[in-house]
Amino acid sequence: MSVNTFGRVLRFTTWGESHGPALGAVLDGCPPGLEISEEAIQPFLDARRPGTSKFTTQRREPDAVKILSGTFEGRTTGTPISLMIENTDQRSKDYSDVAQAYRPGHADYTYDAKYGFRDYRGGGRSSARETAARVAAGAVARQIIPEVSIMAYVCEIGGDEIDREAFDPAQIGQNPFFCPDSWAVKRWEKLVDDARKDGSSLGAVVECVATGVPAGWGAPIYGKLDADLAAAMMGINAVKAVEIGDGFRAARLRGEENADPMHPGENGPEFSANHAGGIAGGISTGQPVVMRIAFKPTSSILIPQDTITREGEATKLATKGRHDPCVGIRGAPVVEAMMALVLADHKLLHRAQCG
Amino acid sequence: MSVNTFGRVLRFTTWGESHGPALGAVLDGCPPGLEISEEAIQPFLDARRPGTSKFTTQRREPDAVKILSGTFEGRTTGTPISLMIENTDQRSKDYSDVAQAYRPGHADYTYDAKYGFRDYRGGGRSSARETAARVAAGAVARQIIPEVSIMAYVCEIGGDEIDREAFDPAQIGQNPFFCPDSWAVKRWEKLVDDARKDGSSLGAVVECVATGVPAGWGAPIYGKLDADLAAAMMGINAVKAVEIGDGFRAARLRGEENADPMHPGENGPEFSANHAGGIAGGISTGQPVVMRIAFKPTSSILIPQDTITREGEATKLATKGRHDPCVGIRGAPVVEAMMALVLADHKLLHRAQCG
Amino acid sequence: MSVNTFGRVLRFTTWGESHGPALGAVLDGCPPGLEISEEAIQPFLDARRPGTSKFTTQRREPDAVKILSGTFEGRTTGTPISLMIENTDQRSKDYSDVAQAYRPGHADYTYDAKYGFRDYRGGGRSSARETAARVAAGAVARQIIPEVSIMAYVCEIGGDEIDREAFDPAQIGQNPFFCPDSWAVKRWEKLVDDARKDGSSLGAVVECVATGVPAGWGAPIYGKLDADLAAAMMGINAVKAVEIGDGFRAARLRGEENADPMHPGENGPEFSANHAGGIAGGISTGQPVVMRIAFKPTSSILIPQDTITREGEATKLATKGRHDPCVGIRGAPVVEAMMALVLADHKLLHRAQCG
Amino acid sequence: MSVNTFGRVLRFTTWGESHGPALGAVLDGCPPGLEISEEAIQPFLDARRPGTSKFTTQRREPDAVKILSGTFEGRTTGTPISLMIENTDQRSKDYSDVAQAYRPGHADYTYDAKYGFRDYRGGGRSSARETAARVAAGAVARQIIPEVSIMAYVCEIGGDEIDREAFDPAQIGQNPFFCPDSWAVKRWEKLVDDARKDGSSLGAVVECVATGVPAGWGAPIYGKLDADLAAAMMGINAVKAVEIGDGFRAARLRGEENADPMHPGENGPEFSANHAGGIAGGISTGQPVVMRIAFKPTSSILIPQDTITREGEATKLATKGRHDPCVGIRGAPVVEAMMALVLADHKLLHRAQCG
């Protein structure tokens, strides 16, 4: 039971620390014959890459992916695909304060409590930098599910939601917030920049929609598609909540309001609603799979906070250095990657049992 | 990768359909020497048992558990514990309408889409009856974590929340709603009964708190305690959303508001807040683990809904028979069981790596 | 990582002790739509059943299998198949000597060393009776691989081998030894009966051949077909060695002797030898899969042996009661079952990755 | 179920092809605080390294290991340990004959049959070069089990066995055959060199003894120590058979001959024999764990063999290039590594369940 591995038949294992020489992923179970290349994976990493605007951390790294195994003449061979990203901007800084005291909201204390000590440089293994490996693996997973389109976007920052009437998918790639509403972009620019200047941070909500998922993926009872997606998303750094379809709102509906009535359609049933978010009984219905994921505000802030030292003494700590004022923004590409990985996994798992 | 198995080193596998001869769980990896008996497990099943009030389904079954293996002279031996519950009230009814048409919101269509056909009697494997097996397994898991107390309760039905000021844990076992607020009980009696009389149904939110969890349980990156809990809860029938700690509310806080400052304490650090819900970086902090789980309204309602037949013809279907007007109520004991199973699993997993 | 579960995508979990109320298996991942019934499984259990001749233990049990879940109208539904066999001949005997002292060659001491205590009645979980659950699961697995024929037989008892010239598959089901050589049957009758009368026991070698396995099953590097088969067979009670193809004899051949030359054939290549036993690089070649499995002599013998008590005192112990004079004989149906389970698993696993 | 991953709670995943840029292993589940370094791992790789004598392949590579993650200040942190070995001697040669025709005894045909095509350069993923990654991982695993000493040696080449009377462990590291008998070394020098000059190859038997394993490791029923060891060894390239303890010889003994009588001892029981090879009922007895592993002769030989092309035409193929005349020799360090990995895994698994 590798705790650094995710997936059922398509499995990926990640490794690496924030300030080690490199980080990477090994993706196993990929079907043979798929076209993959470093060039095709790179754009997904670029989308997640830090340092591209003042709304993300100023750590600047090319995050260039190398394929070390699993392909031959540009195609997957069915053997494990090893992906590596070298760390190039491990700025030599003084970590003595973080080494000695626990940053509230971070994993500093819990890693020490669990393992007895920790690699404190940049958060070590608990750094969100690890998600680069997921994004690389997710780019390969997309090749397994060409029938599916995945779109993740930020729909709320610091409590300020997008206007659903102004939703324009073409906007998502046009602004630093992965935001589909150009009016919200204006507001968020100020909102996030203000938080940054205050030395504070903001939370965000990411929404993800996968269309083209056929009915029948997902494996009850303990391999339900929604349960696997919940685990995938809750495991992303800073995520504290996950909804499928209407989520918490469904708990406030009556049965007849929450139903997704079915009607005869050209290719299988047509549904006149999608409260369920495309999943019933843990199996995809053929409707879009819809999720919402809540990211807490970045724990690293310049405002000093009460905390304790490793020796248990009271102290105050402000986290200097380069940080995302809203970690949820760069969460969108990671959410997309995890969605791709889970769906590809379930496509293959379904094929195993049901041919 | 058994999809009917859950857990990492403490693993349980469930089997059984709503209207088969029996259902059960096999729990593997349990430490030897723990005292367990049918008598000790039964009260947990009784709490989940249907037919105890007019607010739950009128299916009446004793849900008597039998231990078929894994114990000797009243103690666990370290071998798999087989737990069986016989189905006794499989009322012979006419299932021809459900056999022919798909109930919206149910897994009828998705099971057919996945497997080609289905056991339509009472929902077959997709019935919430399967959760009885989890509750039985959870009762054993509790023995592995005597240091932990787990309490789940319903904190919202049909959008009507409890009053936190009126919170009284002693109330939880005193009413049919697992409700800690005696004033809410009064309101809910009418609310649920009205929905039942209308042939409709209501959603609910269950909250679960585990105290006594030491710092250090949980295994980053893909065995995070919160990710495993999210999967565990999202996999319960009718669940559509999961929050850890402040959950979605955290996305609306600023960094300094969401911090959980640490102070020197007698036995490790003391925290002056618990926005994180007891988990940081996927590892327990030593604070209470807090979750909120949203249940959709029961999909089985008497109000006819548009749907299609297996042959793809338009029809209308009302689900006759015995149903819970609010399936979330009986979700509380299941949530407790899953919490116990995940925590016990992580206690053992932590012991494997960290001694 | 359930240690009472075997398989990758087709997984089975067994439970039960020799003298508990029942034992069973839960088989998960089985494709939907396969015809199975208690009547179709029973003959495989009957082949393994004790008490059918004086050459096996005189414990007499019908070993009647019940299907508790996973089928509907005679066909598998894709949900877990729960198979149960009730124990009916748990003769009430005095186990005080076995409870107090360790039988050499048995798991008595090791279970105590591992778990602190044990269910000593009939060996508890370590009893070969557990293999009945595998045979039942194996009977279902055969339905998944109708293209494959599996034949296991005893080829050596107490060092006395069959004559390959006299090999007649039709003989295998005609004698109590699963022996394909009618002349060896005559010799073995006396050999085994003499050992029985002496209160001693004999070892045996079982050979298993699976024909019809297409090229391409097996998953390098750590899911190799031969490695999975080795684990499957070595895990059978009393097995101490496993060979694929020529096995140890291959270590004495030169490269050109051990080669399996290939020639053009009607349906893929034809091989002019099968030293490899049908597996190259962990993947099936399309030739018959051939294994040989060595069973040690039954450890339970009437001849007193030096041993110690639980308290560490020297004593002597003779194992009274009903025992197989040659446990390898009834191993043949178990070997067949494990072969079926591994091959079915790899058929499905191959389908997952390679379509 | 990653098929390139091995282990239960201590899990390692390997990746890489013979002629790719690098190969490696990711080891997960390792306890924190163990001292590891590239310098400490390197000697184990050097023992397996090719090109050190004329009795092994003349491919010359430094096989220098890099630790890319999982350590901090020289100690393991509990996070995944990524080990990489760069390929430096991928001699540019003409692979057109191997690309077009299948080498008998190799995985060429089976990889094509499974995946549709293959990386034919040096055998791609099926090359024994992959075992370097296991040896590196095994070097780390040894740190987890300081109480255990593991010794593997070649006890037979081409049918010529060592003399047990001449057994001298000090000899093992003193000759290119890992041979404990200096007289056999003399004979083998000529034997192997003659085979090499003939363009032929020889098989070998490796024996492995682990002392210091306490009683209680191993997890019945499907996580038996011997079953896991059998899978570990059978999965090594060219292995065709595996024995525990007396193995096939046990099948020729009577019950009283095969017993391992127990006597009172200073620290637990003392056994007056070890036919069982240190394992009973799948659990270690406290005696040395003893295995014998048969390696077939290297399939790559200069003597032309009948085979077919990818298009199914008859042809003849001799494998030119650099090859081990006896691949079993360099198997010894791999056997040691797998023994270390399995034992370390079971130590941790035992700790999970039994504290």
Q: Which of D201, D215, D301 sits opposite C110 (nearest CB)?
A: D215
Interface with chain D: mutation pick from C14, C221, C237, C243, highest number of D CBs within 10 Å: C221
Tens digit of each residue's pLDDT (9 = 90 or more) over C159-196: 999 999 999 999 999 999 999 999 999 999 999 999 99
- Across the interface, do B308 and A224 touch by the CB < 8 Å criterion? no
**CA–CA separation, D130 vs D114, rounded Å?**
19
d(CA D140, CA D71): 11
pLDDT at position B9 is: 96
A51 pLDDT higher than 80? no
- How far is it, in rounded angstroms, from Cα C89 to Cα B52? 40
| Burial degree of C321 (CB within 10 A; 0-12, 13-18, 19+) | middle
| C218 to chain A, closest Cα gap in Å | 12
Q: What are the tens digits of pLDDT across the range D165-179?
A: 999 999 999 999 999
Please answer yes or no on whether C354 and A1 come within 8 Å at the CB atom: no
D182 labeled part of a ligand binding site: no
For D160-208, the DSSP string reads EEPPGGG--GGGGGGSTT--S-HHHHHHHHHHHHHHHHTT--B-EEEEE
- Residue D286, pLDDT > 80, answer yes
The residues near B93 (Cβ < 8 Å, ≥ 6 apart) are: B321
B230/A75 Cα distance (integer angstroms): 36
CB C236 within 8 A of CB C131: yes
Distance from the B151 Cα atom to the nearest Cα atom in chain C, whole angstroms: 28
Cα separation, D316 vs D311, in Å, equals 14
Taking all residues of chain C, what is their mean pLDDT, rounded to a whole number? 95
Domains of chain C, by residue range, sit at 5-354
Helix or strand holding residue D279 (H, E): strand D279-280
Q: Is residue C92 over pLDDT 70? A: no
Residue B70 is predicted with a pLDDT of: 98
pTM metric for this prediction: 0.97
Closest-CA residue of A relative to D349 is A1
The answer to whether residues D135 and D333 touch, using CB atoms and an 8 Å cutoff, is yes
Q: How is residue B30 annotated by DSSP?
A: P
Cβ of A321: how many Cβ atoms within 10 Å?
15
Please state, in angstroms and rounded to a whole number, the distance separating the CA atoms of residues B119 and A182: 50
Helix (H) or strand (E) holding A191: helix A182-197
The residues that bridge with D152 in the sheet, in sequence order, are: D208
Look at the alpha carbons of A126, A132, A133, A138 in this order and tell me if their dihedral is positive or negative.
Answer: positive
CB A15 within 8 A of CB A346: no
**Does residue C301 have a cis bond before it (omega within 30 degrees)?**
no
Q: What tens-digit pLDDT sequence spans chain B (355 residues)? A: 589 999 999 999 999 999 999 999 999 999 999 999 999 999 999 998 877 788 877 777 789 999 999 999 999 999 999 999 999 876 667 788 889 999 999 999 999 999 999 999 989 999 999 999 999 999 999 999 999 999 999 999 999 999 999 999 999 999 999 999 999 999 999 999 999 999 999 999 999 999 999 999 999 999 999 999 999 999 999 999 999 999 999 999 999 999 999 999 988 899 999 999 999 999 999 999 999 999 999 999 999 999 999 999 999 999 877 688 999 999 999 999 999 999 999 999 999 999 9
- Could you tell me which residues of chain D have a Cβ less than 8 Å from any Cβ in chain A? 1-5, 7-9, 11, 13-17, 20-24, 26, 28-29, 32-33, 66, 68-70, 72, 75, 77-82, 84, 114-119, 124-125
Residues ≥6 apart with Cβ < 8 Å to B9: A1, B29, B345, B348, B349, B352, C1, D9, D349, D352, D353
CB D322 within 8 A of CB D199: no
Nearest to D41 by CA among D111, D107, D137, D110: D137
D37 is in an annotated binding site: no
What is the C-alpha separation between A233 and A291, in angstroms, rounded?
9
Q: Which residue has the tokens 């499989």?
A: B90
Which residues partner with D204 through β-bridges?
D157, D295
CA-nearest of D177, D206, D229 to D55 is D177
Would you say D288 and D211 are in contact if contact means Cβ atoms under 8 Å apart?
yes
Check if the beta carbon of residue B26 is closer than 8 Å to that of residue B81.
yes
For residue D5, the chain C residues in CB contact (below 8 A) are 222
Give the A-side interface with D, CB within 8 Å.
1-5, 7-9, 11, 13-17, 20-24, 26, 28-29, 32-33, 66, 68-70, 72, 75, 77-82, 84, 114-119, 124-125
Task: Give the whole-angstrom CA distance, residue D318 versus residue D305.
Answer: 6
Residues of A in contact with D82 (CB under 8 A): 15-16, 22, 24
Is there a binding annotation on residue A322? yes
With beta carbons under 8 A apart, name residues in chain B contacting A107.
Answer: 220, 280-283
**Smallest Cα–Cα separation from C126: which of C17, C268, C278?**
C17
Three-state SS for D268?
Answer: coil
- Asked if C154 and C177 touch (Cβ cutoff 8 Å), the reply is yes
- Comparing CB atoms, the residue among D2, D23, D77 nearest residue A115 is D77
Residue of C nearest to A348 (CA): C352
**CATH tag, C5-354:** 3.60.150.10
Write the Ramachandran bin of B147: left for phi over 0, alpha for psi from -120 to 50, otherwise beta: alpha
Q: Contact A118/D72, CB-based, under 8 Å?
A: yes
Distance CA D258, CA D274 (A): 9
Question: Chains meeting A at 3+ CB pairs closer than 8 A?
Answer: B, C, D
Residue D275 one-letter amino acid: H
Exposure on the CB side of residue B90, measured as CA atoms within 13 A: 18
Q: Identify the pLDDT of residue D4.
A: 97
Residue whose C-alpha is closest to residue B25's, from B85, B87, B86, B83 = B83
Mean pLDDT of chain D: 95
The letter for the amino acid at D76 is T
Q: Which residue has the tokens 């495309």?
A: A278
* Percentage with pLDDT > 70 across chain D: 98
The two beta strands, B149-157 and B160-161, are antiparallel
CA distance C87 to D214: 34
Q: C-alpha angle C338/C339/C340, rounded to 5°?
A: 90
CA D179 – CA D208 distance, rounded (Å): 12
pLDDT at res. C87: 93
| Candidates A126, A162, A258, partner chain B, best to mutate (most B CBs within 10 A) | A258
Amino acid at D42: Q
List of chain B residues whose C-beta atoms are within 8 Å of the C-beta of residue A241: 241-244, 247-248, 250-251
Does residue C267 have a known ligand-binding role?
Answer: no
